[in-house]
Amino acid sequence: MQASNLMACATEEVPVPMIVRPKPNLLGILFSLKGSIAKRIALRSLLVTLLASVIVLVETLHPAYFSKVNATPFTLLGLSLSIFMSFRNNACYDRWWEGRKQLGQMVIEVRSLIRETQLIKDPVERAGLLRGVCGFAHGLIARLRHEDEIQAITPWTAVQPSHPNLPDRVLQNVGARLSELTGQGVLSEWRYTQLETRLVSLSQVQAACERIKGTPLPFPYTLLLHRTIYLFCILLPFAMAEPLGWLTPVFTAIVSYTFFGLDEIGDDLEDPFGFDENDLPCNALLRNIEREVLAALGETDLPPALEPVEYVLS
């Protein structure tokens, strides 16, 4: 397929973005919405703030109802909840970073295959191998996003549609062809071993990414945190109404923004291959692989590298 056709296929993919921007100034910190979770938690924070206003109004009209409410339990609960949330967010960030390392390893292995297949003098044979590896990369991303693997792979190489694991099937085809070339004397046993090691590493990348995708954090762990956050934010105004008065809705909004925001960030990072603004830039990584494979095959009309658009790298 010509590079122009490949570019058309790439642009039809659903973008998976990541925020790429310099450190904002004070105004940017206060008013930046691109990549922020503020829009997604705005309704929840607003409802909790309105509830706090109602509670303050009741306290103003009937102060006796709040005479025995003490803030000490909320201080202890808030401290425990903060520690609990930090553990969860660290676990979610580890998943995000592990996913990024695995995709980076895939790029390394593809580059190594490009370099190590230079001794194959038949351009058709080499093109078939490298295009197969590129098809594997597209198929793996499609598999992680529950998209059409056949549609992602077929622009690059042929694959048996009925196979339960299409990216792995592509690697099997590449490995079988390398074995045939070794039997024909095109590749030495040592070179075949080196190339097979690269394919094994790509299989390990796929297994690691599937492990991240298919093993979410334990549901009771997440459910307990969600429930505790809602209970804390709803009950907090009862403790602040008497000492703070009409400042209670302001502090409630700040606390709810912090806790709901951290909870939402954890949900984003738990699945690094998803479609949120802070997920991994899978399309940009695939485009880099496309460009390097096509350049190695002598193509000059390369699809352009993807750049951030309004700080979003797709």
The model's confidence at residue 71, banded by pLDDT at 50, 70 and 90, is confident
User: ∠72-77-78 over CA atoms, to 5°?
Assistant: 95
CA 299 to chain centre: 31
- Is 17 inside a domain boundary? no
* 146-160 pLDDT per residue, tens: 999 999 999 999 998
Note the pLDDT of residue 243.
85
- Is 30 inside a domain boundary? no
17 pLDDT above the threshold of 70: no
Among the residues of the chain, which ranges form H helices? Answer: 3-11, 26-31, 38-61, 72-116, 123-144, 149-153, 166-183, 189-214, 219-244, 248-270, 282-296
- Is 69 inside a domain boundary? yes
Note the pLDDT of residue 11.
35
The model's confidence at residue 73, banded by pLDDT at 50, 70 and 90, is confident
Note the pLDDT of residue 82.
86
- Is 283 inside a domain boundary? yes
- Is 279 inside a domain boundary? yes
* 138-148 pLDDT per residue, tens: 999 999 999 99
For residue 176 the two structure tokens come to 């079988």
- Is 20 inside a domain boundary? no
Is pLDDT larger for residue 21 or for residue 204?
204
The model's confidence at residue 311, banded by pLDDT at 50, 70 and 90, is low
CB atoms within 10 A of CB 220: 8
- Residue span of the structural domain in which 108 resides: 3-11+37-297
The helix/strand/coil state of 312 is strand
For residue 229, give the nearest of 36, 70, 45, 93 by alpha carbon.
45
The model's confidence at residue 242, banded by pLDDT at 50, 70 and 90, is confident
- Is 99 inside a domain boundary? yes
Number of domains in the chain: 1
Note the pLDDT of residue 5.
42
Note the pLDDT of residue 4.
38
Instruction: Indicate the Cα dihedral angle 52, 58, 61, 62, nearest 10°.
Output: -120
Instruction: Indicate the Cα dihedral angle 79, 84, 86, 88, nearest 10°.
Output: -160
The model's confidence at residue 7, banded by pLDDT at 50, 70 and 90, is very low
